[in-house]
Homo-oligomer: A and B are copies of this chain.
Amino acid sequence: MARIVCKFGGTSVADSERIRQTAERVKACIDAGNEVAVVVSAMAGVTEQLIARTREVSPLHDAREYDVVVSSGEQVTAGLVALALQRIGVSARSWLAWQLPVTTDDTHSSARIRGIDTAAIEQRLTTGEVPVVVGFQGLAPHQRLTTLGRGGSDITAVMLAAALNADQCDIYTDVDGVYTADPRVVAKARKLDKISYEEMLEMASQGAKVLQTRSVELAMNQGVRLQVLSSFVDAPGTFLVDEDELVERQVISGIAYSRDEAKITLMRLADRPGVAASIFGPLADAAINVDMIVQSASEDGTLTDLTFSLAKSDLDRAIAVLEQEREKIGYADLQADSGVVKVSVIGVGMRSHAGVAARMFQTLAEKGINIEVISTSEIKVSVLVAEEYTELAVRALHTAYGLDTA
């Protein structure tokens, strides 16, 4: 008998019919001899509606009241899923964050879980009662509701799995697993049976949308065996595992891309100590995250150009900050470009294989794609290219690294 935490995302509980199907899936898992705890998101679209409401009422809102409003969607789903389970003969009850409790810090709207008290549900699990826990929601030290930010229900599920010492944490979503590339872009993309935590982490932070980085990180740190699978088809998904569990190791596991990229180039900067700090200090103060950075010497050797990438949504603010600091930084011109995309190749096999980056550059060159910025880590190579090349670049790399379906 295994103990499994099943988390159902917004599309898995989108309406009454889907909620009934979700209940059937939980029942099947119990009938197969498992102990099951459930974590639920809000119905698809509900959280967005609630967020829009808070903005309508008060654009600069108190995050504590925002949390009261926005966390209500998960409460509704928890009650409904418990009802749907009871209806098909499965003993179940809902658990709100303050009832367990799921304790967090007091960073409202993006709180971090400190602990989940499982005493009450541990005992009931052994009697066959399914706890249906609201995802996304927590209880701050001052006894007010908090929410966990984007991907919050996944985080609840991972932390609950850790607290319950569960054998597995199944994340039910609207895709059937992690692919070698976005199947909407690459028709030959393959579903991966397994992927290492590190690779998944890079995939998530490089633009793959199936899981948020924070939940992958937590699963890795807490040693939670995570499976991503579809609630629409009855088939195994993709397991997140330790690297040493990957038997047949590919050099590259997947190709990711992110369209949420923009690029700023500062022209003819003085090449003196402290110039980088004069640029990135003010940006950091404005809470703007900079991703890739490249500096190129100009002809006379005393002036350089500096290019960096950032999220598209931060571009306007970043330009404003840099123009305000222009005197202090001392650059001749600022060029901004929001028509760029970041394409990344990811794989733990890179550690032991040379030539991975070279193959990437060669493949893109053969297709006539100019690389604007490059950045590498131990298990990934990312490049910034013009947005119009997105599909071409991803498909060419997918083929070049031998990832296409036979």
Contact = CB atoms under 8 A, between A and B. Distances in A.
Interface of A: 16, 19-20, 50, 53-54, 56-58, 60-62, 64-69, 72, 75-76, 78-80, 82-84, 86-87, 93-94, 96, 98-99, 143-145
Contacts of A69: 75-76, 79-80, 83
Given A66-B79, A79-B65, A84 B72 contact: no
B58 A87 contact: yes
A83 B54 contact: yes
Contacts of A76: 50, 53, 68-69, 72
Contacts of A66: 79, 83
Contact of A98 (B79, B87, B94, B98): B98
Nearest to A69: B79
A98 to B, nearest CB: 6
B82 A62 contact: yes
A68 B94 contact: yes
B57 A80 contact: yes
Give the copy number. Answer: 2
A229 B144 CA distance: 33
Given A20-B57, A65-B93, A67-B79, 16 more contacts: A50-B76, A54-B80, A57-B80, A57-B87, A58-B86, A61-B86, A64-B93, A65-B83, A68-B79, A68-B94, A68-B96, A69-B79, A69-B80, A69-B83, A75-B75, A96-B145
A260 to B, nearest CB: 28
A79 B61 CA distance: 10
A57 B84 contact: yes
Interface centre among A80, A94, A144 (most CB of B within 10 A): A80
Contacts of A65: 79-80, 82-83, 86, 93-94
A94 B19 CA distance: 30
A396 to B, nearest CB: 48
Nearest to A20: B57
A83 B60 CA distance: 9
Nearest to A23: B57
A20 B58 CA distance: 9
A129 to B, nearest CB: 12
Given A64-B93, A72-B72, A99 B58 contact: no
Interface centre among A50, A57, A60 (most CB of B within 10 A): A57
Interface centre among A20, A50, A69 (most CB of B within 10 A): A69
A144 B75 contact: no
B68 A143 contact: no
Contacts of A60: 87
